[in-house]
Amino acid sequence: PQNLKCVTHNLRKMVCTWEISSKRRHGQTEFCYNTNDLPPLCFKTKEKRVEIPVPESFTTVKITTYSISGAALATRHFEIHKKDISFVPLAPHILSLTPDLSTSTLTLKWSDNGSTFPYGLDASWEIEILRKEPMENVTHESYNSKLTHEDIVHSWNWKSDMPLECTSHYVRIRQYVNVTQFDGHKVWSDWSPLEVVPGKDTEPHGSGLFPQDTVVAVGSNVTFCCVHEEGRQVQRMSYGAKDYPLIRLSSRSSAIRVLNASASDASGTNIVCRMSENGMDGTVLFVGYGPDIPQDLSCETSNFVIIKCTWKPGRASGLYGVRGTKYSLFESVSGKNVSCEVNEMKKERVCGFPVLADQKTYNFVLGVSNPIGQTKALLLVDLNQRVNPETPEKLTVYGNSSTSVHLRWFINGSFAEIRLLCQIEISSGHSEQKLHNVSMPGGKFSTYTAQLNTLHPYTKYQFRVRCSAADHFWRWSDWSGTEKHTTLEA
Amino acid sequence: DSHIQYERVGADVTMKCGSMDWDAAVTWMANGTDIDDSHLNGSYLILKNVDLTQSGQYFCYEGSSWHLKYQTILRVGVPPKEPVLMCRSNNYPKGFYCSWHLPSPTYIPNTFNISVIHGTREMVCEKDVFPKNRCHIRYLQLFSTVKYKVTLTVTNALGKNSTSLTFDEFAIVKPDPPESVVAKPVPNNPRRLEVSWQNPSSWPDPESFPLKFFLRYRPLILDQWQHVELSDGTSHTITDAYAGKEYIIQVAAKDNDIGTWSDWSVAVHATPWTEEPKHLTTEVQITETTSTSTSSFMPPPTTKICDKGAG
Amino acid sequence: MAAADTPSASLRHHDLCSRGIRLARKMRSDVTDLLDIYVEQQGLDASISVAAVEGVPAAAAERWAEQTGTQRLLDNLAAYRAFRVLLAQMLEEQREQLGDANGELGPALAAVLLQVSAFAYHLEELLELESRRTPAEEGSEPPAPPRLSLFEQKLRGLGVLRELAQWAVRSVRDLRQLAKHGPGSSAALGLADSQ
């Protein structure tokens, strides 16, 4: 017997193997060992391997080979020290490999068999991903964890640089346990068996161009693949108007790689795969920007019925229709949410939110999202401080006096809870324009009146009026229409 | 029986004298003329970088007995280049024809094979007896959006080439030029010319598939054509001709709705009517002539007769 | 029912045919312009070939010359009713996909849809003049468009417009055949020895 080697997978038991050099046919072998000064233990075996406990320090071994007839042929003594023992963890077992086609992400789950090892060991994992025919290594990723003397299921995600439909993705994993107090030889485990997520190019009639109708940010790198039926060839693949070099993935799948994609038109950029026998397939890519944080968000009411919020959208996203940027106005005090109708081609953005009974303060969150990203802007509003009344209507001027007149006008809106400040502009012929301010309690969709005295007799006057909130001025309304009136003769 | 041996221009050709050994004494003749020994390697005939002139009949005789041991016809040529293919419908909606030629001669016989595919259907192309490089296809379907694909393959002993055309039914519709174009002066109208013509006889049903026409005319003394488009009818009166000037006139035709214009018709010449010279006082004429010849020339605007209504 | 072949019916028939031909030729010209806009807006290659599109009436006709006048009108009417549905679907798809960014395409598509509707109505008038009852439209709810990828949707739209352009040419020819013969003549109207 010679070349005795011992390997442990779990630091407790070790498997010892040996070789027999003689050519002669031999029968059984007797294996005796003793550890830690305990009496030797012996047993017979036909194998050239035995499993025995890992010694604290060393183990002495005696191996005797016998002939078929039972005569002792040869005996050999060995001393196995800790440092002579190799520690090779068992190959990890993959529990599951799950694809998420929408995000081209693989999720790998495996058990770390922690219960096999003492508490607190550092474990390193290497995960290898392979692709293509013939198989090529795509990436080699590392992952570290702590063994907790329990079997922990680990989960690890990997986003592929190409749609998972393009071709089969293979994954395997191996483990290294850093047992500092074990002074034997420590090595990586074997690789686990390959787990595969089959591509469309393995399905009998699998075909198509992937990814299908996706949205990416400007500057992205995108891989498109054309999966076709057996016997067909891809002749060329174009992105927009330009042909790209083909990358062969398998006999039924070819790809192109587009780098630093620029913004697409509203209808997206077409990717067309032309195949033999007039075969053709296509997909569309939309390349745009995530939404900018809305600038200059401002909300006001002109009638205490609707709050009108406006903002500047910032850079155009380049995405339209169903992929366009969506705005919603959420008010956290009431919990009410309103989605806003927006015309992407127009610069200004407007959204209406109903004035709520008995609520003066509004805590707005303007939510903005499109397929590439989302953002928001916040605004706290005391509505009474954001009143910009509607334009006064139906202004009438009357009076049968030479020095005074009465003015009456209507304002659409419900201002019952505030005082209004209205400004009357008085102009007449050559003399300078005068402004007369008058404040009054607000009303609900009501008419307002004012009297002007100290006018000149028999004089042609022009009047117009505008209003604002008396307390907490925010903005004047627009001027009303102009009304003419001539005072009576003195 | 001598066989034909085809070789490319510039090739090196080696001919063995039938079953004769290499070192046998032989005599080679080409087109009745002895070939001198410089071309021989033993009994083999070696022709380097052959050219067209070396085509011909080659004989090899056994030295002493003058028995004919080998004969061949050497044809030196080139493989065919990509053929030029053209398809056109001048008798819509009956069908269309395709014609082809080689951009350069091959000096050896070529065979042409044409296939016409419409969608998934292969159509028959009936070859003309003359000219040989033309064949006709009948439209089995009209108003089809499916394209026609015509593939022409030319083969000779030295190679093969092909070309193909893909087109829509209506894209190749191009009538023949109008026929029997006649231009006549209009008596007592020094500025008018009456032009008439006929639909090309190859156009099968002008009533159901009316043609529209394009007339161009100019006085011989000028280079600038004047044009007028006519949406129906086969005659037109030119009303702005220069008195006394000889005019050249041509007409082209096009289907009212599809396809392209025909080539221009044969040109006809005509001069507007001019008054007979009177016998009395000639001076009056002279002063009158002198005054008109000095007037400056202004090209009349292009006249466009609108579509006088369909049908 | 007035006899189909009275002088006034013939005059009306010829007038309807002539106006129909002008409408069809205008429609063809607008569809050709729309095709250019569509190809450009959808980023398609103008020479791209499109296989026969399911649910789109093919303009291609075999033994076209042998068709009767009534058959021509019925085929035309069925086709333009189908195109009315198809174009409406396309308009909806454009609104969904492009929103407010459909540029010239939306208005051009709407304009052609109007012309197709007008032409269908025109054909109904001609059929009535032929003393034929106009076939009722199939069911109120048009068939839902098939679920397609965006690229397939683009190609389908191209196929619809190309087929419509061909139908417009065919309609001009059909109406010319009808114009040659008075109303009510369901005899084969066509080329003596063609096809």
What whole-number distance in Å separates Cα of residue A112 and Cα of residue A280? 47
Q: What letter represents residue C48's amino acid?
A: I
CA-based R_g, chain C, Å: 18
What whole-number distance in Å separates Cα of residue B6 and Cα of residue B205? 50
What pLDDT, in 10s, does the model give residues A271-303? 999 998 888 999 999 999 999 999 999 999 999
What whole-number distance in Å separates Cα of residue A390 and Cα of residue A387? 9
What pLDDT, in 10s, does the model give residues B29-74? 998 888 888 889 999 999 999 999 999 999 999 877 888 999 999 9
Contacts of A360 (CB under 8 A, 6+ apart): A382, A383, A384
Could you tell me the pLDDT band of residue B297, with boundaries at 50, 70 and 90?
Answer: very low
- Contacts of A111-115 with C-beta under 8 Å, sequence gap 24+, read A111/A151, A111/A152, A111/A153, A111/A154, A112/A145, A112/A147, A112/A151, A112/A152, A112/A153, A112/A154, A112/A175, A113/A89, A113/A151, A114/A147, A114/A148, A114/A149, A114/A150, A114/A151, A114/A152, A115/A149, A115/A150, A115/A151
Tokens for B77, please give them. Answer: 């040529």
CA-based R_g, chain A, Å: 42
Residues of B in contact with C14 (CB under 8 A): 311
What whole-number distance in Å separates Cα of residue B212 and Cα of residue B310? 11
Provide the pLDDT for residue A173.
96
Contacts of B203 (CB under 8 A, 6+ apart): B90, B91, B92, B175, B176, B209, B211, B253
Residues of C in contact with A270 (CB under 8 A): 42-44, 151, 154
pLDDT at A60 over 80: yes
Contacts of A290 (CB under 8 A, 6+ apart): A217, A317, A370, A372, A373, A374, A375
Q: What is the pTM of this model?
A: 0.81
**Pick from A445, A461, A351, A448: nearest CA to A402:** A461
CB–CB of C179 and B309 under 8 A? no
> Given CB atoms, is B144 within the 8 Å cutoff of chain C?
yes
Residues of C in contact with B164 (CB under 8 A): none
Q: Which of A265, A280, A346 sits opposite C43 (nearest CB)?
A: A265
CB–CB of C167 and B143 under 8 A? yes
CB–CB of C59 and B210 under 8 A? no
Could you tell me the pLDDT band of residue A22, with boundaries at 50, 70 and 90?
Answer: low
Classified as helix, coil or strand, A21 is coil
Residue ranges per structural domain of chain C: 74-134+146-182
What whole-number distance in Å separates Cα of residue B192 and Cα of residue B183? 10
Could you tell me the pLDDT band of residue C184, with boundaries at 50, 70 and 90?
Answer: low
Whether the CA torsion A387, A388, A393, A395 is positive or negative: it is: positive
Provide the pLDDT for residue C191.
43
Could you tell me the pLDDT band of residue B309, with boundaries at 50, 70 and 90?
Answer: very low
**Pick from B118, A207, A267: nearest CA to C158:** A267
Task: Find chains touching chain C: ≥3 CB pairs under 8 Å.
Answer: A, B
What pLDDT, in 10s, does the model give residues C118-145? 999 999 999 988 776 677 776 556 677 7
Nearest CA in chain A to C151: A283
> Given CB atoms, is A280 within the 8 Å cutoff of chain C?
yes
Q: What is the dihedral of CA B107, B113, B119, B123, to 10 degrees?
A: 140
> Given CB atoms, is B177 within the 8 Å cutoff of chain C?
no
Return the CATH number of C74-134+146-182, one of 3.30.43.10, 3.30.70.20, 1.20.1250.10, 3.40.50.300: 1.20.1250.10
Tokens for B214, please give them. Answer: 């394009």
Q: How far is CA A37 from the centre of its chain?
A: 62
B with C: how many residue pairs have Cβ under 8 Å apart? 82
Residues of A in contact with C49 (CB under 8 A): 278, 280
Provide the pLDDT for residue A71.
82
Phi and psi torsions of C181, nearest 5°: -120, 150
What whole-number distance in Å separates Cα of residue A309 and Cα of residue B87? 65
> Given CB atoms, is C58 within the 8 Å cutoff of chain B?
yes
Task: Find chains touching chain B: ≥3 CB pairs under 8 Å.
Answer: C
Q: Are the CB atoms for A343 and A325 separated by under 8 Å?
A: no
pLDDT at A146 over 50: yes
Other beta carbons less than 10 A from residue B290's beta carbon: 9
Residues of B in contact with C50 (CB under 8 A): 145
pLDDT at B279 over 80: no
